[in-house]
Chain A
Amino acid sequence: MAAPAIQAEGLTKSYGSSRGVVDLAFEVERGEVFGYLGPNGAGKTTTIRLLLDLIRPTRGRASVLGLDARRDSVEVRRHVGYVPGELALYPRLTGREHLSFYASLRGGVDPRAVDDLVERLDLDLDRPVADLSKGNRQKIALAQALMHRPELLVLDEPTSGLDPLVQQEFYRLVRERTAAGGTVLLSSHVLSEVEHVADRVAIVREGRLVVVEDVAGLKARAVRRLVVHFAAPVAAEPLASLPGVRSVEADGTGLRFEVEGSLDTLVKAIAAHEVVDIVSHEPDLEEIFLSYYREGERGAA
């Protein structure tokens, strides 16, 4: 059995003030898409830079593909593809020149893999990247990360700036990589970006790992804000006592709900009335964190 794709043990990076990560311990299995979720500044990029040996841990260690992230970093990076969160390319070089340079650093890559990516991502290879939109630059970064068919893909907020069609193609590429036995670490600050593709999700907050859970479990915790507009005013009280409903607030002929977990019972209950419109908001990550904290407190009490 192959070593885990990523293994962190007490991984700690201290900076003077609050930034950094503290005692991270998690494992990413081979072949899974692992979402790494947290608000901006939570330590996601710090973790990734530790795995790539761009910075060194204050304490603890990490291994990547069975290799020590620090000692064997060159070998690690041979098998890893990386899309940085703060993408910076060489403004005067074209996309083609970037791909050819990065390929030569890897001792060459299969040209068919490059051609395939160029076609599927619809890359503009002939203009200097300074003249490209953010999305088109991001696509070049994706191509360089994928062109050597890496065993581990490390993606730091990879879909920012991509239009929805390209995002769909990107998710397909990620899935193909795992189907071929590869592993993907996908960091993001929005749940919706990872929930389509991730098998498991880790949540970090202020440098600490809050929870590692599969996506279904996480969604069950998600707190959704829902505004339902009715044709006529509806009494809030009977709905407030439904399972999962955390609060109800009247707003003219509408009701604002906060619902934890499944919406099923609530939707069935409001179906008794004439519904004009339903507006649902993205589950808030912060709410999910809080639900885990509340549980922690209840456990302690």
Chain B
Amino acid sequence: MLRSVSAKTVRDHARAFLWWMLGLVATVWLTVAIYPTVRDRPELNRLVQDYPEAIRAFLGEGSIDFVSAAGYLSAELFSLVVPLVFLVYAIGLGAGALAREEEDGTLDLLLAHPVSRRRLVVEKAAGSGALVVALGVVLWAALWASAAAVGMDIGPGRLAAATAAGVLLALAFGALALLVGCATGKRALATGASAAAAVAAYLVYGLAPLVDALEPAQKLSPYYLYAGGDPIRSGLDPAHALILLGLALGAGVLAVVLFDRRDLRV
């Protein structure tokens, strides 16, 4: 289990991962279990249609259809809960990957071993990324199993597309947190900056239909790359997916370069 830095990264977070997994599975299960009562009350759709224009615009297209399986999951899980959970998880991992060892002082002894700084960042990033992907697999499996249990009209492919979009969004912001952590060695700064960037991305995307000045910026928001293509109905947009992946890899490369160049803090 301790044969490499990436293996150790996974192991260090194994116990916490179980708790995240349990919480996520419980959330998915409870949400899906309520669905049959919603499906049997199509008047709920009219309720949402009576919301003020501004709120409907902010909630997005999916909110107008609340009763279909895709519409329900989109409104109840994928518009906020899933990105929030995955962003918090990925940003925490990314920010801590190196900055935590640097702040704790364990990095000095680690880097006194024959491991290049570049390889260290790559291994930490690989271990952290694998954990985020694994949490995505958990989400997908929980959705599929619970949707099947209540006879929800949605297949594993659509669930996989929506989940993958969430994972990619999380990887992009997790990589940003890794980058700030690698560049500064400060975990709190890395967490705060990345969380602020994620909130900004969400607000820009949500408010753009309401604020003329933000309109052109909407498609620049990473949240648009996550939700704009409506993956739960239309599948994963390859261009959006590639851009998110590119952002994650770009931030990762920059993290490697900056970490390689600076002095480690005492």
Contact = CB atoms under 8 A, between A and B. Distances in A.
| B is bound to A | yes
Interface of A: 45, 49, 52-56, 73-75, 77-78, 80, 82, 84, 86-90, 93, 97, 100-102, 104-107, 141, 144, 154
Interface in B117-141: none
Given A54-B263, A56-B263, A86-B266, A105 B114 contact: yes
A101 B109 contact: no
> 4 closest Cβ contacts across the A-B interface?
A88-B105, A82-B112, A55-B263, A78-B114
A101 B4 CA distance: 7
A104 B114 contact: no
A107 B115 CA distance: 10
Contacts of B113: 77, 102, 105-106
A133 B85 CA distance: 39
A105 B115 contact: yes
Interface string B153-188: 000000000000000000000000000000000000
Contacts of A80: 112
Give the residue among B2, B5, B116 with the most A Cβ atoms within 10 A: B2
Contacts of A89: 106, 109
Interface residues of B, number: 21
Contacts of B12: 90
Nearest to A101: B2
A201 B266 CA distance: 25
A101 B108 CA distance: 15
Contacts of A55: 263-264
Contacts of A52: 111-112
Contacts of A102: 109, 113
Give the residue among A78, A104, A144 with the most B Cβ atoms within 10 A: A104
Interface string B1-12: 011110010001
Interface in B188-247: none
B114 A101 contact: no
B93 to A, nearest CB: 17
Contact of B5 (A88, A105, A107): A105
B104 interface: yes
Contact of A88 (B2, B3, B109, B263): B109
A93 B266 CA distance: 22
Given A97-B2, A104-B4, A75 B112 contact: no
Given A84-B109, A101-B2, A77 B114 contact: yes
Contacts of B110: 105
B108 A84 contact: yes
Nearest to B118: A74
Contacts of A93: 2
11 contacts: A49-B266, A56-B263, A78-B114, A80-B112, A86-B105, A88-B106, A89-B106, A97-B2, A105-B5, A105-B115, A107-B114
